[in-house]
Amino acid sequence: MIPDSPAISDNHQEQAKDVITADETSSDKPEEACGVFGIYAPGEDVAKLTYFGLYALQHRGQESAGIATFEGTHVHLYKDMGLVSQVFSESILSTLTGSIAVGHTRYSTTGSSRKVNAQPALVETRLGKLALAHNGNLVNTVHLREELLKQKYNLITTTDSEMIAFAIAQEIDAGANWIEGASQAFQRCQGAFSLVVGTPSGVMGVRDPNGIRPLVIGTLGEHPVRYVLASETCGLDIIGAEYLRDVEPGELVWITEEGLTSYQWSQKQQRKLCIFEMIYFARPDSLMQEESLYSYRMRLGQRLAQESYTEADIVFGVPDSGIPAAIGFSQSSGVPYREGLIKNRYVGRTFIQPTQTMRESGIRMKLNPLKDVLYGKRVVIVDDSIVRGTTSRKLVKALREAGAVEVHMRISSPPVTHPCFYGIDTDNQDQLIAATKSVEEISKLLEVDSLAYLSWQGMLEATREDPESFCSACFTGDYPVAIPEQVKRSKLILEKAPVVLG
Ligand code: SF4
């Protein structure tokens, strides 16, 4: 049941901004970029199916959400700041009629967190409107922006996603059809882009030549078969769609009344799926490489135990993402698995806490140690990554206060030493604790009895896939798509360019 409450008004959102801070109790994890969803299903309530798809993809971005539907050539679009469940109500969804829908849930990577930057991006072309939802990040936005401005395109937002939409429009306005126009536009884009693009004629699903961000195809019903696109398979499961296959790197799938047609728009494809999707970002019940990420994460824990066993009384994971690896660690080491931390599932954004005591124990807003489980114990705590280390330090303090006599930290990925430019917000390099400190120094800073990370080889071997088919640049600095110098300097590079209002 979708609550029939109005979407958050701009006014309300402005008030909220005054008290939301990125203080030290905020998430100490890399932030995901976006979730995308698309469906072609005449006769179905495509807006509601998209709502549920986005609901399952909410972990990929919590800043804004949007849905565009196509009813012939007419487009209905609704987007706003907030969670999917806050933005949409039954009454809003009932206005989004049509046979095609494109949805998006966003965390800002390029372009700041403002309503104008919410997606899908809607652009007019010679063949009608297109609505584009993007997961990833382009690295050649400065160049692309200059090209578009020269052509007198009025860029309304500061997002790379809008630029891709305008690049497609530019090709179509020059005489191309939907497929030609999109394929030509993608040749001008560098970086990571998994896209769902709605048009009056059909919906397309696209991945960049490296397939850095995921995108899957599902089927719904049998006579006729309808097709669905989603960032992860959990977005298919929730609406009862069957997983068919991934959109391949450099592929464009075009879904119309005739079914699904595949085009290889890039001849230079080389799969480089983001390994962080496997370790942390994607939901554990999503399939990648035809198995659940829960299984992969358990293997990471098994390997971690083999590489850095320590004697202890119990092992537990940092909820939720550290839990499968902690179970794997327990299986492989024989150290009993227990729950040592309970997560408050209803904490959303972190607000300034009203008292000093609350601020100091900010971590307990989200995670509360189980004192009777921890008291007098030597514990192994497993997490999937350490980025800045602020949350980890608080966690260790809280465990000791709860009576743990030894705290050993194990991390189911290697040290994060480089920032990501492909759609994940991993901070600047100087804010990454492992970029400037050795494991021993980090161990002292976190005040743990021992600290060990999983090896890079261990992380890749646990995939049981070709290690070359993953991007692991945030652990190595070996970026599969070259990063221009000026892009390295700032995440919000476009904010410095004047925004041209249409
Ligand atoms: S740099 Fe890291 S987070 Fe970014 S795509 Fe590569 S593996 Fe993923």
Q: Which two tokens stand for residue 204?
A: 């397309």
Higher pLDDT, 108 or 471: 471
**Catalytic pick among 7, 13, 25, 34:** 34
Ligand 1 closest atom vs CA 423:
4
Q: Compute, in angstroms, the gap from residue 432 CA to the centroid of ligand 1.
A: 14
pLDDT of 57 = 97
Q: Which atom of ligand 1 is nearest to the CA of 274?
A: 8
Does 485 have pLDDT greater than 90?
Answer: no
Q: Mean pLDDT for the chain? A: 88
Rounded CA separation 142/490 (Å): 12
DSSP string, 90-124: HHHHHH--SSEEEEEEE--SSS-S-GGG-SSEEEE
C-alpha pair distances (Å), 114 with each of 13, 139, 316: 10, 21, 38
SS3 184: helix
- The CA-atom distances, in angstroms, between 429 and each of 40, 70, 104, 217, 300 are 42, 42, 29, 35, 25
Q: Note the pLDDT of residue 25.
A: 34
Say what the pLDDT of residue 81 is. Answer: 93
Q: Residue of the nearest CA to atom 8 in ligand 1?
A: 274
Q: What is the mean pLDDT of residues 86-101?
A: 98
Q: Which residues define the annotated binding site for [4Fe-4S] cluster?
A: 274, 420, 471, 474
Letter string b/e over residues 18-40, b meaning 16 or more CB atoms within 10 A of that residue's CB: eeeeeeebbebbbbbbbbbbbbb
- Cα atoms found within 13 Å of the Cα of residue 331, Cβ hemisphere only: 14
Q: How far apart are CA 31 and CA 425, in angstroms?
A: 5
Ligand 1 geometric centre to CA of 194 (Å): 14
Residue 77's pLDDT is: 98
Distance CA 405, CA 133 (A): 50
Q: pLDDT per residue over 233-292, tens digit each?
A: 999 999 999 999 999 999 999 999 999 999 999 999 999 999 999 999 999 999 998 899
pLDDT in tens, 434-468: 999 999 999 999 999 999 999 999 999 999 999 99
From 472, 476, 483, 491, the mutation candidate for ligand 1 (largest count of ligand atoms within 8 A of CB) is 472
Structure tokens at 351: 């607000």
Nearest CA to ligand 1 atom 4: 420
pLDDT at 104: 97
Phi/psi for 384 (5° steps) reads: -85, -25
Span 114-131, mean pLDDT?
92
At 18, the pLDDT band (50, 70, 90 cuts) reads very low
What is the distance between the alpha carbons of residues 12 and 263, in angstroms, rounded to a whole number?
Answer: 45
When pLDDT is cut at 50, 70 and 90, the band that residue 112 belongs to is low
